[in-house]
């Protein structure tokens, strides 16, 4: 059955898979860049970002030499900003530790910041035709359904079992590796989806045990949901001479390293900020919500004016025009708020 799975997947990918993506080239830099962007983000969203990144940073040295704020600004809207900071750090690793040359095997690739086993394996296959396999969320779902594997995806022993099976399925001919690995990605993204899978179009439906046993909805076993955390956030939107006060967020926590208006968790902290800066309250806006992965932010914006001749700013804070703000990495809800306002 294993050989059947592999052969059917390769044949299907060549006929029905994705072949015109901008990163489907023999360039480890572009392959690596796309793999980082594709973590937790759909292909359709990544395409435009990828093109802009490559235009601005055509080589890894260009990315390594860039300022982090510029990298984050180009990344703005993709979310999960740790990926962008890791991307920038890894580019510097490649230049400083590897002489500007990408590592040519999985274990060396895994030394790069933000590169795990599955990402390193994809780069190794597409750039160097090395016999490595991937095991992201889509692949786990495919394997659990085709082979009726019932286990906790968060369990280390079960994940080890999945890695072993994935390795056994690799095609013997290295020339087939790119089509096979791309086929795993395409099958999970296009056919064997989390909800409403297209089983009638699946090249594996003749051997899929979950399909035969009517367990598609059951497998893989659902993860235990993480409790949603509710966070109150007060925004101090301070205007002076048609410019707005922004500060760079700490490098850890919500919106790490992005530019944002001053944020406070309670009224007392906001009140102290008002007193310290002689602010004049103009308007309190209606509270709105913004969902992060495991947090729901309840955001209340306050508009303030800074009196004339009082524009001394705190450390790491300065005033920006709206046009200047467009060049910065802003949190998505703040960017949308200013666009609407």
Domain holding 278: CATH number?
3.90.79.10
In three-state secondary structure terms, 73 is: helix
**What span, in angstroms and rounded, lies between the C-alpha atoms of 107 and 178?**
19
What pLDDT sits at residue 313?
53
What pLDDT sits at residue 162?
98
Closest CA to 56 of 47, 46, 66: 66
Is 255 in the same domain as 150?
no
**What span, in angstroms and rounded, lies between the C-alpha atoms of 88 and 71?**
7
DSSP-derived secondary structure for 198-229: -GGG-TTTTT-HHHHTT-TTT-SPPPPPPPPE
DSSP-derived secondary structure for 167-182: HHTS-SSGGGHHHHHH
**What span, in angstroms and rounded, lies between the C-alpha atoms of 180 and 183?**
5
Closest CA to 194 of 116, 139, 156: 139
**What span, in angstroms and rounded, lies between the C-alpha atoms of 340 and 232?**
21
Is 257 in the same domain as 182?
no
- 111 contacts 119 by C-beta, under 8 angstroms: no
**What span, in angstroms and rounded, lies between the C-alpha atoms of 23 and 35?**
9
**DSSP-assigned letter for residue 99:** T
Is 191 in the same domain as 268?
no
Is 203 in the same domain as 246?
no
In a domain, 68, yes or no: yes
In a domain, 223, yes or no: no
Domain total in the chain: 2
Is 255 in the same domain as 203?
no
Is 239 in the same domain as 202?
no
**What span, in angstroms and rounded, lies between the C-alpha atoms of 83 and 78?**
10
In a domain, 217, yes or no: no
**What span, in angstroms and rounded, lies between the C-alpha atoms of 199 and 106?**
33
Active site (catalytic) residues:
35
Domain boundary among 212, 240, 272: 212
In three-state secondary structure terms, 27 is: coil
- 335 contacts 244 by C-beta, under 8 angstroms: no
Q: Which two tokens stand for residue 256?
A: 């790490």
Q: Count CB atoms within 10 A of the CB of residue 270.
A: 20
Q: Structure pTM?
A: 0.91
In a domain, 221, yes or no: no
Closest CA to 129 of 177, 170, 172, 179: 177
Q: Which two tokens stand for residue 329?
A: 């990495």
Is 16 in the same domain as 127?
yes
Is 172 in the same domain as 233?
no
Is 185 in the same domain as 237?
no
What pLDDT sits at residue 317?
82
Domain boundary among 163, 182, 212: 212
Average pLDDT, consecutive stretches of 10 residues, N- to C-terminus, the chain (341 residues): 90 97 96 97 96 98 97 94 97 97 97 98 98 97 98 95 97 97 98 97 97 97 88 96 93 93 96 93 96 95 85 70 94 94 81
Tokens 């016999």, located at residue: 131
Is 200 in the same domain as 322?
no
**What span, in angstroms and rounded, lies between the C-alpha atoms of 142 and 107?**
25
Is 84 in the same domain as 182?
yes
In a domain, 222, yes or no: no
Residue-range definition of the domain harbouring residue 328: 229-340
In a domain, 275, yes or no: yes
Domain of residue 166, CATH code: 1.10.340.30
What pLDDT sits at residue 316?
63
The phi, psi pair for 61, rounded to 5°, reads -65, -35
In a domain, 80, yes or no: yes
The phi, psi pair for 210, rounded to 5°, reads -65, -35
In a domain, 184, yes or no: yes
- Our measurement of the distance from residue 64's CA atom to the centroid of its chain's CA atoms, rounded to an integer in Å, reads 19
Is 307 in the same domain as 168?
no
Half-sphere exposure of 264 (CA within 13 A, CB side): 16
> In residues, how long is the chain?
341
Domain boundary among 212, 245, 266: 212
Closest CA to 37 of 68, 90, 79, 65: 79
Q: Which two tokens stand for residue 111?
A: 């030394």
Closest CA to 38 of 58, 56, 54, 23: 23
What pLDDT sits at residue 175?
97
């Amino acid at each position: 059955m294993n050989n059947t799975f592999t052969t059917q997947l390769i044949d299907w990918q060549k006929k029905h898979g994705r072949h015109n993506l901008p990163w489907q080239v023999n360039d480890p830099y572009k392959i690596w860049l796309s793999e980082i962007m594709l973590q937790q983000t759909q292909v359709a969203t990544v395409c435009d970002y990828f093109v802009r990144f490559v235009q601005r940073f055509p080589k890894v040295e260009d990315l390594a030499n860039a300022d982090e704020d510029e990298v984050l600004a180009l990344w703005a809207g993709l979310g999960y900003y740790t990926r962008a900071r890791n991307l920038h750090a890894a580019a510097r690793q490649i230049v400083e530790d590897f002489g500007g040359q990408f590592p040519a095997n999985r274990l060396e690739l895994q030394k790069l910041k933000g590169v795990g086993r599955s990402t390193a394996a994809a780069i190794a296959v597409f750039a160097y035709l090395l016999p490595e396999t991937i095991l992201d969320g889509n692949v786990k779902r495919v394997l659990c359904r085709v082979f009726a594997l019932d286990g906790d995806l968060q369990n280390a022993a079960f994940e080890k079992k999945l890695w072993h099976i994935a390795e056994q399925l690799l095609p013997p001919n290295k020339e087939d590796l790119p089509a096979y690995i791309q086929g795993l990605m395409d099958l999970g993204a296009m056919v064997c989806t989390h909800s409403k899978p297209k089983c009638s179009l699946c090249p594996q439906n003749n051997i899929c045990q979950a399909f035969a046993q009517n367990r598609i909805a059951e497998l893989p076993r659902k993860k235990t949901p993480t409790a949603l955390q509710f966070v109150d956030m007060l925004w101090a939107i301070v205007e002076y001479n048609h410019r707005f006060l922004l500060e760079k967020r700490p490098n850890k926590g919500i919106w790490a390293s992005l530019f944002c208006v001053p944020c406070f968790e309670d009224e007392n902290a906001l009140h102290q900020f008002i007193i310290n800066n002689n602010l004049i309250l103009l308007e309190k806006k209606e509270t709105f919500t913004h969902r992060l992965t495991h947090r729901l932010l309840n955001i209340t914006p306050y508009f303030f004016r800074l009196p004339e001749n009082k524009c001394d700013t705190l450390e790491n804070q300065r005033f920006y025009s709206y046009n200047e703000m467009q060049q910065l990495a802003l949190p998505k809800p703040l960017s949308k708020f200013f666009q609407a306002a």
